[in-house]
Structure 1
Amino acid sequence: MSIKCMISDKIKYIDFHCHCDLLPGFESRSLRLDPEVAAVAVTTTPLAWPKNVEESQHISGMLPALGMHPQLISARYKDHDSFSKYVKDAFIVGEVGLDGSAAFKDSLDSQEEVLSKILKLSSASETTKILSIHSLKAESRVIKILNTEMNTASLTPIMHWFTGSLLQASKLLDLGAKFSFNHKMVKTKKGKSLLAHIPKESILIETDLPFTAKTYDSSFHKSLLEETTIELAISLGVSSDDFTADLLKNSKQLLGST
């Protein structure tokens, strides 16, 4: 069963990277999103996909994504074998990618092997359209693999919390990439530099909850997205109301829900 991304007319903000299955209330089925918020519910292992799909039927605005986090590949390498079982039903694939930071660089070869397989499967899938990509300290490797393994005609990579160089960002833009900004990124010099470098239509928003805050409730979630949107608009020198509307329009078009 293909999982479609249906966006309610009430939605004002779309969070392109949120770990809904790690938020308080998910396991007890009490988790709810704000009525004005939709969230791409990234996962860290494909084994979490069935539960996320099931819960998305009960949580309005939750958009399930099929993932295999690079930081888990060393400890849970065999999990990625389940990817092929579910990818035919996944409109969004994420969180996937590479992590070259000190704690995970020893597994980079295995990470590359897995990402290559995931990109081939996603490119072959008639359903998959969007990728949420982790690239910490491995940006050049990610770009190389995207160039060789990704079908750019059918897939759009969204760079989650990108911290690479502007030259790398340009190479990703050439591949049709979008960049998702969160409330922490917009306050940094590097984040502002990236924002000034990329086209407005390539900007999306995210929270990366629960890893970017010590608490969670639906109104707080919405406030983070609103804060990020306002900060982005200020940095770009545009009206926050106009930017909010443009951002939502671009987001809905990307999700195929206009």
Structure 2
Amino acid sequence: MTETHTQSPPRWVDFHCHVDLYEDHAAVIAECDRERVATLAVTTTPKAWPRNRELAAKSAHVRIALGLHPQLVAERENELPIFERYLADARYVGEVGLDAGPRFYRSFPAQERVFERVLRACAEQGGKILTVHSIRTASKVLNHIERALPQDRGRVVLHWFTGTAAEASRAVALGCYFSINGEMLRSPKHRNLVGSLPLDRLVTETDGPFVERDGRPLRPRDVRHTVGELAIVRNLSPEAAEGAILQNLKRLVSV
């Protein structure tokens, strides 16, 4: 994104995609370059980061995030030292965060321990950009960010944010951005929320391959459909929405 080998500027932004979970991992990376999709390829475990980084080393538009997914903390908390060892070489961090869904609530104390250490390590090093998971935990996620990651030490993008309007306002005050996907915009409640967020804090994502369209997993190039939907929600032309998202990405990665 900023430290890119880009020969032509991006046209689209997919700020949260699990590229390594596609069967044709390498082809997805090549597709991102061909379609000019600035793509943040998140990882769910720090052990996955070196191989992902290797595969994207020559990509103009794909960057790899170092992650420890909250849904895996019960089995992977012992990988936190690996995460901390790799962090100095990682500009982007994710997927990290908290998940209080029924399947993962038992690991919540461990999730909080991991998330706090991740945030403090990022603050100590500075200049990190994080993509953060917050299912049923928006207020707690914001508490941790407020306590452990000052705004001048890094930037947070709240991935697939579904908190309340009050929580969204608090996130804005804390300097957070929001990554918006097409599935969010299928819900009237979440369309209204997205319509109320500051336009200059929005980027787009697919969360592929977990999100599907017409029976197939979304790929980074499909983010153009989300841009079109976002334009409708915000009463913009598709071109204006596209330009705003690219400008937001530029500002976000200038940390």
TM (norm. structure 1) is: 0.91
> Aligned-pair distance for 1:5?
4.5
The structure that is helix-richer by fraction is 2
The structure that is strand-richer by fraction is 2
In the aligned structure 2, how far is the partner of 1:144 from the partner of 1:74? 22
Structure 2 portions without partners, runs of 5+: none
Match of 2:70 in 1: 70
Percent identical:
33
In the aligned structure 2, how far is the partner of 1:6 from the partner of 1:197? 35
> Aligned-pair distance for 1:216?
5.2
Residue 166 of structure 2 aligns to which amino acid in structure 1?
L
Residue 179 of structure 1 contacts residue 203 of structure 1 at CA under 8 Å; is this kept in 2?
Answer: yes
In the aligned structure 2, how far is the partner of 1:20 from the partner of 1:192? 26
> Aligned-pair distance for 1:192?
1.0
Residue 229 of structure 2 aligns to which amino acid in structure 1?
E
In the aligned structure 1, how far is the partner of 2:6 from the partner of 2:129? 16
Residue 177 of structure 1 contacts residue 202 of structure 1 at CA under 8 Å; is this kept in 2?
Answer: yes
> SS in structure 2 opposite 1:170?
helix
Match of 1:37 in 2: 37
Cα deviation, 1:125-149, whole Å, max 9, x if unaligned, reads: 14x4211000001111111111111
- CA 1:73–1:25 in 2, change beyond 3 Å: closer, same or farther? same
* 1:34-113 → structure 2 map (5 Å cutoff): 34=32, 35=34, 36-113=36-113
In the aligned structure 1, how far is the partner of 2:65 from the partner of 2:217? 20
Match of 2:241 in 1: 243
Residue 41 of structure 2 aligns to which amino acid in structure 1?
A
Residue 67 of structure 1 contacts residue 93 of structure 1 at CA under 8 Å; is this kept in 2?
Answer: yes
Residue 92 of structure 2 aligns to which amino acid in structure 1?
I
Residue 189 of structure 2 aligns to which amino acid in structure 1?
K
Structure 1 portions without partners, runs of 5+: none
> SS in structure 2 opposite 1:64?
strand
Matched, 1:255 2:253: yes
> Aligned-pair distance for 1:30?
4.0
Residue 6 of structure 2 contacts residue 60 of structure 2 at CA under 8 Å; is this kept in 1?
Answer: no
Aligned length: 249
Cα deviation, 1:13-61, whole Å, max 9, x if unaligned, reads: 01000011111222xx444223221210111011111111111114442
TM (norm. structure 2) is: 0.92
In the aligned structure 2, how far is the partner of 1:167 from the partner of 1:216? 32
